[in-house]
């Protein structure tokens, strides 16, 4: 099996983390920077993260996550944040680099900016776009983690309001999921992978 296929198909949501293992800040940053090569519409990268490693803070987070033990056991918890205001905050940096790298002539910069901001002015569209692109980033994190022998568990079982309050996240931003990350407890076994639909059950080729 090809290496990349193995990383994807053998990924599991890890319930049992090795509580004795830590992850260095450098390793977390490396995983996140590789994962952040994920695509995003207009390259706006409308995501942010907060990474919680502190043991006491993880205990509080566990409570916010309806007492899911893996939140406390994992070496770190990555809180994914979708920013519906990202277009307004990122557009200049993104377009400057687009001009610099030869993606567009300087004269087209202002009209491109207007076109993008016109769409992101609509809060519903901005939310949908930012959540969508943040989910692509999230999936990359889970795959890239495995390159470094790390395992993950995506979760949306938490009180979003309390999460934002605890971490000081702007109420207008969205937390679509968190990802616990660490090393699997080698003494514990997972159940077999849950059923996946076959192509004929979810798709058609026309």
Ligand X SMILES: Cc1cc2nc3c(=O)[nH]c(=O)nc-3n(C[C@H](O)[C@H](O)[C@H](O)COP(=O)(O)O)c2cc1C
DSSP 69: T
Closer to ligand X at the Cβ: 116 or 141? 141
Following DSSP, what letter does each residue of 41-102 receive, concatenated? Answer: GGG---EEEEEE--HHHHHHHHHHTTT-THHHHSSEEEEEEE-TTHHHHHHHHHHHHHHHTT
Q: Which stretch binds ligand X (CB under 6 A): 81-89, 121-129, 152-160, 198-206?
A: 152-160
Among 110, 122, 156, 170, binds ligand X (CB under 6 A): 156
Say whether residue 154 binds ligand X (CB under 6 A): yes
DSSP 3: H
Using alpha carbons only, give the angle 119, 122, 124 rounded to the nearest 5 degrees. 115
Closer to ligand X at the Cβ: 71 or 91? 71
> Are 173 and 48 spatial neighbours (Cβ–Cβ below 8 Å)?
yes
Nearest one of 28, 69, 19 to 185, comparing CA atoms: 19
Among 89, 157, 161, 188, binds ligand X (CB under 6 A): 157
Closer to ligand X at the Cβ: 29 or 193? 193
Say whether residue 167 binds ligand X (CB under 6 A): no
Sheet holding 47-52, edge to edge: 47-52, 76-82, 174-182, 151-155
Say whether residue 12 binds ligand X (CB under 6 A): yes
Closer to ligand X at the Cβ: 87 or 131? 131
Structure tokens that stand for 34 in this block? 């590789």
Instruction: Give the residue at shortest CB distance from ligand X.
Output: 157
Say whether residue 171 binds ligand X (CB under 6 A): no
Q: At its nearest, how many Å lie between ligand X and the CB of residue 205? A: 25
- Alpha carbons 176 and 67: distance in angstroms, whole number: 18
Buried b (16+ CB within 10 A) or exposed e, 95-109: beebeeeeeeeeeeb
Among 64, 177, 179, 181, binds ligand X (CB under 6 A): 177
Closer to ligand X at the Cβ: 68 or 83? 68
Say whether residue 13 binds ligand X (CB under 6 A): yes
Q: At its nearest, how many Å lie between ligand X and the CB of residue 11? A: 7
Lay out the site mask for ligand X across 57-76 (x = CB under 6 A, - = otherwise). Answer: -----------x--------
State the residues that interact with ligand X by CB under 6 A: 12-13, 68, 154-157, 177, 193-194
């Amino acid at each position: 099996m090809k290496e990349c296929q193995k990383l994807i198909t053998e990924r599991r949501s890890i319930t049992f983390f090795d509580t004795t293992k830590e992850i260095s800040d450098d390793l977390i940053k490396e995983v996140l920077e590789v994962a952040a090569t994920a695509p995003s519409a207009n390259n706006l990268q409308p995501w942010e993260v907060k990474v919680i490693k502190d043991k006491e803070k993880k205990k509080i987070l566990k409570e916010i996550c309806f007492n899911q033990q893996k939140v406390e056991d994992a070496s770190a918890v990555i809180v994914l944040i979708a920013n519906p205001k990202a277009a307004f905050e990122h557009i200049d940096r993104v377009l400057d680099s687009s001009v610099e790298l030869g993606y567009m002539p300087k004269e087209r910069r202002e009209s491109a900016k207007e076109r993008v901001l016109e769409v992101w002015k609509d809060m519903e569209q901005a939310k949908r776009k930012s959540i969508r692109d943040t989910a692509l980033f999230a999936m990359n994190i889970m795959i890239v983690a495995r390159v470094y022998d790390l395992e993950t568990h995506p979760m949306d079982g938490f009180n979003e309001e309390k999460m934002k309050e605890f971490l000081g996240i702007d109420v207008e931003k969205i937390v679509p999921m968190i990802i616990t990350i660490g090393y699997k407890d080698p003494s514990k076994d997972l159940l077999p992978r849950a059923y996946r639909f076959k192509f004929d059950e979810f798709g058609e080729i026309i």
